[in-house]
Amino acid sequence: MDDEHVSETTQTPQTLPLIPLDGVVIFPYTVVTVPLNEEVEAAAHAAMKENQLALVVAYRRDAPFDAPLALRVHRVGVVARIEQIGRLPNGVTGMVVRGLVRAELLEQTQEHPYPRFRYVERHDRFERTEELEQLMTEVHAAIDAVLELRPGIPQEIRNFVRSINDPGHLADNTGYSPDYTFEERQDLLETFDVIERLRKVLAFYRKQLALMDIQARIRQEVQDAAARQQREFYLRQQLRAIQKELGEDDKEADELAELREKLEAANLTPAARKEAERELHRLSRMNSASPEYQMVRTYLEWMAELPWNKTTGAPIDIAYTRQVLDEDHYGLHKIKERILEYLAVRQRRQMLADEHERVREPILAFVGPPGVGKTSLGQSIARALGRQFARMSLGGVRDEAELRGFRRTYIGSQPGRLIQELRRAGTSDPVILLDEIDKLGHDYRGDPAAALLEVLDPEQNDTFTDHYLNVPFDLSKVLFIATANTMDTVPPALRDRMEVIELSGYTEDEKVHIAQRHLIPKQLRANGLRPEEVVFEEEALRVIINDYTREAGVRNLERQIGAVLRKVTRRIVEEGNAETIAPVIIDGAFVRSALGRPRFFNEAKERIDQPGVATGLVWTPAGGDIVFVEASVVEGNRELRLTGQLGDVMRESAEAALTYVRSRAHTLGIDPRFFDTHAVHIHVPGGAVPKDGPSAGITMATALASAATGRLVRDDVAMTGEITLRGRVLPVGGIKEKVLGAHRAGIRTIILPRRNEVDLDDLPPDVREALTFVPVETLDEVLAAALLPHPAATISNLFGTTPQGGTVSEGTPRTEVTTSSRV
CB atoms within 10 A of CB 28: 22
φ, ψ of residue 38 to 5 degrees: the values are -65, -30
Q: How many Å apart are CA 743 and CA 504, to the nearest integer?
A: 13
Beta strands in 308-347 (DSSP E): none
Rounded to whole angstroms, what are the CA distances from 203 to 135, 200, 206, 298, 567? 11, 5, 5, 56, 87
Q: Please give the full DSSP string across 561-608, using - where no structure is assigned.
A: HHHHHHHHHHHHHHH--TTSSPPEEE-HHHHHHHH-S-S---HHHHH-
Residues 6+ apart with CB under 8 A from 522: 558
Q: Please say if 380 is a catalytic residue.
A: no
Helices 182-189 and 194-246 cross at an angle (nearest 10°) of 150
CA distance 114 to 733: 105
Q: Which of 695, 706, 820, 821 is catalytic?
A: 695
d(C-alpha 304, C-alpha 784), whole Å: 74
Show Cβ contacts of residue 684 under 8 Å, excluding neighbours closer than 6 positions.
627, 628, 629, 630, 643, 644, 645, 646, 691, 819, 820
Catalytic residue status for 695: yes
Query: Torsion angle, CA of 804/808/813/814, rounded to 10 degrees?
Result: 40
CB 669 within 8 A of CB 795: yes
- Mode of pairing for the β-strands spanning 772-776 and 749-753: parallel
Please name every residue paired with 753 in a beta bridge, in sequence order, or none if there are none.
776
Three-state secondary-structure class, residue 199: helix
Q: Which residues of 5-22 are buried (b: 16+ CB within 10 A; e: fewer)?
A: bebebeeeeeebbbbbbe
Q: Which residues pair with 586 in a beta bridge?
A: 536
- Rounded to whole angstroms, the Cα distance separating 281 from 256 reads 10
Q: Write the CB contacts of 314 (distance below 8 Å, at least 6 apart in sequence).
A: 385, 386, 387
How far apart, in whole angstroms, are the C-alpha atoms of residue 307 and residue 383?
20
> Cβ distance 86 to 93 under 8 Å?
yes
Contact 715, 721 (CB under 8 A): no
CA pseudo-torsion sign 728, 731, 737, 743: positive
| Cα gap 289→797, rounded to integer Å | 99
Strands 93-110 and 31-35: antiparallel
Question: Residue 542, CB half-sphere, CA atoms under 13 Å: how many?
Answer: 8
Distances (CA, A) of 139 to 185, 286, 464: 17, 55, 70
- Out of 736, 738, 820, 821, the active site residue is 738
Active site residues: 695, 738
